[in-house]
Amino acid sequence: MSELWEILLMFVKAFGVGGLICAGAQLVINLTDLTSGKILVCFMLGGVALTALGLYQPLVDFAGAGATVPISGFGYLLANGAMRGAQKGLYEALTGSLAAASAGVSAAVVFSFLMSLIFRSHTKHS
């Protein structure tokens, strides 16, 4: 029964932290005139900055996917890859973030292509 409670707590932490990140983004959308693209870039750069300051890793350790799935987690992934690469040299520092994110980006491209073959896109009429 203890293992079940650990799993439940893991889900609660992930949904709680992920939900707070998403709620923060929704507040920015509702309270500012920033475009969606600018908000995404701000959250991604926020993940990079928090990783550089050493503040995002404890959040990932606490919440797992709740911190890595939102767009700020993509910034964390890029910064983490670059920092790991920097330990090996300048070239790896420049390419480390690309190597770290390549699997996720490749999966997004492949699945997007597959969905485009299955579904027909059309313009939404207001």
| Euclidean distance between CA atoms 60 and 68, whole angstroms | 7
* Other beta carbons within 10 Å of 87: 9
Sole residue written with tokens 């896109």 = 121
Q: Which residues span the domain enclosing 88? A: 2-118
- Give a yes or no: residue 126 inside a domain: no
Each residue's pLDDT tens digit, 1-47: 699 999 999 999 999 999 999 999 999 999 999 998 999 999 999 99
- Three-state DSSP class for residue 47: helix
| Euclidean distance between CA atoms 71 and 39, whole angstroms | 10
Each residue's pLDDT tens digit, 66-75: 999 888 999 9
Q: Is the Cβ–Cβ distance between 40 and 71 less than 8 Å?
A: yes
* 93: pLDDT strictly greater than 90: no
The alpha carbon of residue 6 and the mean position of all alpha carbons in its chain are separated, in whole angstroms, by 24
* 51: pLDDT strictly greater than 90: yes
* 126: pLDDT strictly greater than 70: no
pTM for the predicted model, two decimal places: 0.78
Give the number of domains in the chain: 1
- Give a yes or no: residue 105 inside a domain: yes
pLDDT of residue 94: 86
When pLDDT is cut at 50, 70 and 90, the band that residue 123 belongs to is confident
- Give a yes or no: residue 76 inside a domain: yes
